[in-house]
Amino acid sequence: MLGHEFTDPTLLERALTHASATAPGGVDNERMEFLGDRVLGLVIADALIERFPSATEGEMAPRLNKLVRRETCAQVARGLEIGAFLRLAPSEERQGGRDKTAILANAMEAVIAALYLDGGLEVARQFILKNWSGPFDAVTQVPRDSKTVLQELLHARGLSHPVYRTIARAGSDHAPVFTVEVDGGEAGIARADGASKRAAEQAAAAALIADLENTNDN
């Protein structure tokens, strides 16, 4: 699955251990997630420099953000069926933890850290480049985030900036779900959920954009 035979298998075991599966103070994958996030960012940034030699920093930054964001990490984890190998508390598993975006993304970053610690940067780099090939193809064009697009649409109509409000927070500390409402004034209001406030804001902006496009089509 990972294309690497671990010299120290406990590194992989730890990378797949969610905090819910350990006693307080026990060993889980949170510290490895922290390291894996940095390794992923370095490898992706280096690959972007190589693949887009004439791109400016302003053009590469949104590509980097899209490639390292939680949703992309979870997408790769699902492709590798990481969820099936996670160590979760029974309560977390009953709540669908094996397919939660936040849990999968964190585990994916922890696995990257395990590969780095066991095999070095080149092993981690090869793994990332292979499994992020699809997401890389999706950023050939500079991605534009939904919040920016919505703001431009509202300004084009002579309206003010959209206002975002976090109206609810559910789930556990390790896998929260935020509900955000975006108020576009005369353009309307939309709500959406996300695993982070940022993700929920982006989703709410996308929902309002879709409402505006549907209105225009009608």
3-state SS assignment for residue 16? coil
Q: Which helix (H) or strand (E) holds 169?
A: strand 163-171
Distance CA 75, CA 66 (A): 12
3-state SS assignment for residue 192? strand
Candidates 28, 71, 92, 109; catalytic one: 109
Indicate the DSSP class of residue 142: P
Candidates 33, 37, 71, 92; catalytic one: 37
Specify whether 37 is catalytic: yes
Closest CA to 188 of 150, 156, 217: 150
Specify whether 81 is catalytic: no
Task: Give the burial class of 10: count Cβ atoms within 10 A of its Cβ; 0-12 exposed, 13-18 middle, 19 or more buried.
Answer: exposed
Cβ-based neighbour number of residue 100 at 10 Å: 25
Task: Compute CA distances 197 → 112, 152, 205, whole Å.
Answer: 25, 21, 12
Distance CA 113, CA 105 (A): 13
Question: 11-20 in b/e burial notation, b at 16+ Cβ within 10 A?
Answer: bbebbbbbbb
Mind telling me the catalytic residues?
37, 109
